[in-house]
């Protein structure tokens, strides 16, 4: 008689790298006889893969832990693990704050998860938050559990930039690039399982410099090699830093049709004074000129970004400069946040805190402008022809949903559509967050 599989429930917070990591942890645990479940009540183990970027994200973990108490009471041998960036940042402090947690595993130690799970329980509460010298990816299987047309692939991890507000250099450690051949092998494996689009991930993905045939490979070189993989139709990468946007990468955008015309390039602020205080090491003007060069290589490039309002010392004029930059660039989509002081970062001790009401008002004003730009970008698509990679059925009978080259959701009714079908579509209508279209030909 074989043992019934145990059930693992994973909740993922934060960025795409956490999504990728959760998949890898699920794969590592499936080798230990754990199957994924969406149902917490059915789980033998719950893993929270956490995010430390803003206070709200980090505190959410503790309220979610509180919500697990009845499940643990109903099933005392339920194991609860905390992984990800809160685990990395807070370590055994988590055990003190919550008696429900059985194990803590930092983001660099996921290959040790099966061992930690085996050790946890009966009073043992293992914590693993080292930055080990070995390559965790060598120990984590990359076997997609289900066929999906899109996948993430981590190529670079960590950050050496130390923006004054940001915890990532501490939670993810120094920049490390994976060797090109390992990435190519993983990509080919994904394509064999039906993946058509790969998003290369890194905290500073365009700082990628991995060992490859003939020496050091840039991200552009990696992209060009990936573009030669038969069956891989689309390549994206995220997140980039303006200072690492090298000429060969910009050129690749003009020359490599598989590289999609959508670029997430955070700037955070349009004020040189604030950029300097943030330690971003570039000016607003340099960012604007950079995007001009990118658009010269790829005129239809859709830009996306991140903004922080209410950074310490931000004046009305600084904020006005950010609004000016946004008008100048014209974003297709963007994320914006109210500054959240993070323990251990240089800005946490900075003078000139912006009162909450002012920061809230600025955030509203900035989001109104970004929403208006996004709406305009969406309606400018009407009448245009665009590639769409279909992912899943839509809500209406016979309707399918996919993503455009510019990462917009597109709804289409048509014959022969299925996950993984890449088709040309004429856009017929737009809404703020999605498009409708019809198949061409």
Selected from 7, 54, 221, 241, the binder of ligand SF4 by CB under 6 A is: 241
Rule CB under 6 A: which residues touch ligand SAH? Answer: 53-54, 165-166, 168, 203-204, 239, 241, 266, 268, 306, 308, 337, 339-340, 342
Rounded to 5, what percent of the chain is helix, strand, coil? 40, 25, 40
* 161 lines the binding site for ligand SF4 (CB under 6 A): yes
Selected from 150, 156, 199, 204, the binder of ligand SF4 by CB under 6 A is: 204
Site size with ligand F3S, rule: CB under 6 A: 13
Q: What is the 3-state secondary structure (H, E, C) of 10-52?
A: EEECCCHHHHHHHHHHHHHHHCCCEEECCCHHHCCEEEEEECC
Please say which residue, 167 or 303, places its beta carbon nearer to ligand F3S. 167
Contacts with 55 (C-beta within 8 Å, 6 or more apart), sequence order: 340, 341, 342
CA–CA dist 141, 425 (Å, integer): 37
Q: Look at residue 162 and give the partner it binds from ligand F3S, ligand SF4, ligand SAH, none, a contact being a CB closer than 5 to 8 Å depending on partner kind.
A: ligand SF4
Selected from 24, 172, 196, 362, the binder of ligand F3S by CB under 6 A is: 172
Across 83-100, b (16+ Cβ under 10 Å) vs e yields bbbbbbbbeeebbeebeb
CB 311 → ligand SAH: shortest distance, Å?
8
Please say which residue, 52 or 411, places its beta carbon nearer to ligand F3S. 52
* 205 lines the binding site for ligand SF4 (CB under 6 A): no
Q: Would you give the distance in Å from CA 107 to the centre of its chain?
A: 14
DSSP H helices, 91-205, are 93-97, 113-119, 168-171, 180-192
Site string for ligand F3S, 296-315 (x = CB under 6 A): --------------------
In this structure, are residues 281 and 247 in contact, taking their beta carbons and an 8 Å threshold?
no
Near ligand F3S in 65-84, by CB under 6 A: 84
Q: Is 352 left (phi over 0), alpha (psi -120 to 50) or beta?
A: left
Selected from 29, 45, 51, 200, the binder of ligand F3S by CB under 6 A is: 51
Q: Look at residue 258 and give the partner it binds from ligand SF4, ligand F3S, ligand SAH, none, a contact being a CB closer than 5 to 8 Å depending on partner kind.
A: none
Site string for ligand SF4, 165-184 (x = CB under 6 A): -x-xx---------------
Per the DSSP assignment, residues forming a β-bridge with 105 are: 83, 128
CA–CA dist 274, 283 (Å, integer): 10
Please say which residue, 271 or 430, places its beta carbon nearer to ligand SAH. 271
CB 381 → ligand F3S: shortest distance, Å?
29
In this structure, are residues 36 and 26 in contact, taking their beta carbons and an 8 Å threshold?
yes
- Residue nearest to ligand SAH as judged by C-beta position: 306
Task: By CB under 6 A, name the binding residues for ligand F3S.
Answer: 14-15, 17-18, 51-53, 84-85, 167-168, 171-172
């Amino acid at each position: 008689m074989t043992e019934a599989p145990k059930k693992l429930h994973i909740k993922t917070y934060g960025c795409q790298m956490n999504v990728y990591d959760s998949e890898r942890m699920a794969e590592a645990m499936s080798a230990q006889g754990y199957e994924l479940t969406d149902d917490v009540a059915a789980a033998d183990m719950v893993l929270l893969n956490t995010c430390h970027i803003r206070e709200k994200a980090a505190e959410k973990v503790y309220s979610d832990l509180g919500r697990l108490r009845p499940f643990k009471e109903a099933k005392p041998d339920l194991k609860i693990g905390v992984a990800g960036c809160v685990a990395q940042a807070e370590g055994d402090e988590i055990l003190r704050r919550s008696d429900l947690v059985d194990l803590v595993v930092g983001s660099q130690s996921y290959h040790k998860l099966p061992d930690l799970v085996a050790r946890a329980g009966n009073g043992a509460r293992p914590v693993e938050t080292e930055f080990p010298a070995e390559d965790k990816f060598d120990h984590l299987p990359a076997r997609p559990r289900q066929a999906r047309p899109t996948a993430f692939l981590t190529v670079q991890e960590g950050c050496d930039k130390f923006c004054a507000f940001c915890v990532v250099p501490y939670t993810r450690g120094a920049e490390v690039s994976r060797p090109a051949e390992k990435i190519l092998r993983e990509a080919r494996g994904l394509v064999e399982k039906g993946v058509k689009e790969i998003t290369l991930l890194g905290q500073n993905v365009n700082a990628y410099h991995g060992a490859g045939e003939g020496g050091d490979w840039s991200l552009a070189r990696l992209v060009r090699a990936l573009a030669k993989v038969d069956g891989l139709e689309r390549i994206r990468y995220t997140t980039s830093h303006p200072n690492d946007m090298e000429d060969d990468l910009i050129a690749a955008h003009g020359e490599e049709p598989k590289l999609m015309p959508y670029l997430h390039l955070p700037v955070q602020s349009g004020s040189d004074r604030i950029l300097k205080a943030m330690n971003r090491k570039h000016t607003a003007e340099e960012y604007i000129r950079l995007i001009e060069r990118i658009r010269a290589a790829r005129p239809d490039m859709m830009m996306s970004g991140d903004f922080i309002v209410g950074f310490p010392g931000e004046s009305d004029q600084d904020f006005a400069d950010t609004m000016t930059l946004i008008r100048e660039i014209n974003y297709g989509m963007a994320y914006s946040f109210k500054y959240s002081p993070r323990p251990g970062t240089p800005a946490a001790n900075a003078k000139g805190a912006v009162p909450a009401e002012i920061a809230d008002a600025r955030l509203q004003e900035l989001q109104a402008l970004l929403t208006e730009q996004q709406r305009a970008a969406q309606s400018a698509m009407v009448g245009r022809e665009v590639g769409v990679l279909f992912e899943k059925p839509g809500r209406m009978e016979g309707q399918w949903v996919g993503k455009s080259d510019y990462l917009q959701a597109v709804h289409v009714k048509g014959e022969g559509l299925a996950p993984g079908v890449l088709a040309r579509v004429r856009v017929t209508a737009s809404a703020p967050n999605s498009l409708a279209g019809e198949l061409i030909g």
